[in-house]
Amino acid sequence: MGIKISESGSSIYQVLQKCYSSPVKFGVWLLAAMCALGQTGLQEAVALTRQGRYAEARRVLSGVGEPEEARQKIAFHRLKAAIASGLKEAPAAAEEMRAALRLSPADTSLLAGTAVAELEAGQFPEAVVAYQEAIRLAPENELYRIALATTLIQHQAFEAVIEMLKASPKSAKLRVLLGLAHYGHGDNAEALESLEEAVAADPKLESAKQCLAGIALESAKAPARKTIDVLCAWDKTVCAALELRRAREESNTALEKQAVGVLKQQDSAVAHCALGRAYEWRNQMKDAEGQMENCVRLDPTPQHHYVLALIYRKLGKIEQARRELEFRSQALRRISDEATLSLNALAAFQRQN
């Protein structure tokens, strides 16, 4: 299974980063139960941890014994995990969370917190198992399913996400993740359909529209009328960018003029990138140059570096074109490195199951 990269360098990573972030944060899970710590020294360590003074918190905690009561003992290990995480000692944080979990193995919040800590430590297989157990114990809590789906998408296990989400009730948020999994798997039509369903299920869910726009704008051709209509009801700049693409495909000069007029009034990456391509299509290379330079400044993706390099080359600016292609190569190498780490983690998990 390979990472999805087009000729110009777009990928699932870029769409995911722009439109969706996991709602599960490490600190939330770690600090949630610390009020259970009643001793003065422990309370001081908690206060220092909340202030981000982790080294001081560890010094205070070093003089405090582990509590005897089970609830306080769990909170004690969670506090030690928070301190280790703050000091960038991710493996130690994960081990402390596992110590807390051993005291209450059916606690789904501990399972989720342990999974997040394990992910920060690069322990993907262990994190997946923890999330799966949380889902088994609390199937009605979609937060755990969301967290697992996000983790699997980030590690390119697209088929696993599709299988899991097709077999479960799908809220708008889960439909967004299903759409991203389809996109990563190369199923663009299914991806757009899932995201449109997410918008219909919850019109206020911004991530659904952002992901739908991200995929539509990354596509080589204009999306279907239905998709354009959904996005036009949401954002006029995205709408104009897509209408501009449709105008070119249909040779509709009136629609093109209207879309360009809207985009000229906006100062955003979407507007500058769309205008840069439009002027390139018209062979207005100086105008295209200025717009794509702004586009790359605001959104330096491999694809945008590639387009700017083409424009520079057409203008005879060979050195600038070479520089943009090198920037593109550097960005693609970063994506490739991320993909390699993800696939290695996925392969390790698959060997264990």
Report the pLDDT averaged over residues 94-112: 96
Q: In this prediction, what percent of the chain has a pLDDT beyond 70?
A: 86
Phi and psi dihedrals of 268, rounded to 5?
-145, 165
Tokens of 25: 């944060």
From CA 2, how far away is CA 228, in angstroms rounded?
29
Tokens of 261: 């007029």
From CA 25, how far away is CA 22, in angstroms rounded?
8
Please give the domain boundaries of the chain with CATH numbers for all domains. Answer: 235-333 (1.25.40.10)
Is 134 in contact with 115 (CB distance < 8 Å)? Answer: yes
pTM equals: 0.82
Supply the mean pLDDT for the chain. Answer: 87
Residue 342 has pLDDT above 70, yes or no: no
Query: How far is it between the farthest Cα atoms of the chain?
Result: 77
Instruction: State the Cα angle at 132 between 129 and 137, rounded to 5°.
Output: 125
Phi and psi dihedrals of 11, rounded to 5?
-155, 165
pLDDT tens for residues 7-61?
433 466 677 767 776 655 555 445 554 555 555 678 888 889 989 999 999 999 8
For the ranges 40-49, 128-137, 176-185, 308-317, the lowest mean pLDDT is seen at 40-49
pLDDT of residue 254: 96
Closest to 133 measured CA to CA, from 163, 113, 153, 119:
113
From CA 295, how far away is CA 134, in angstroms rounded?
43
Residue 116 has pLDDT above 70, yes or no: yes
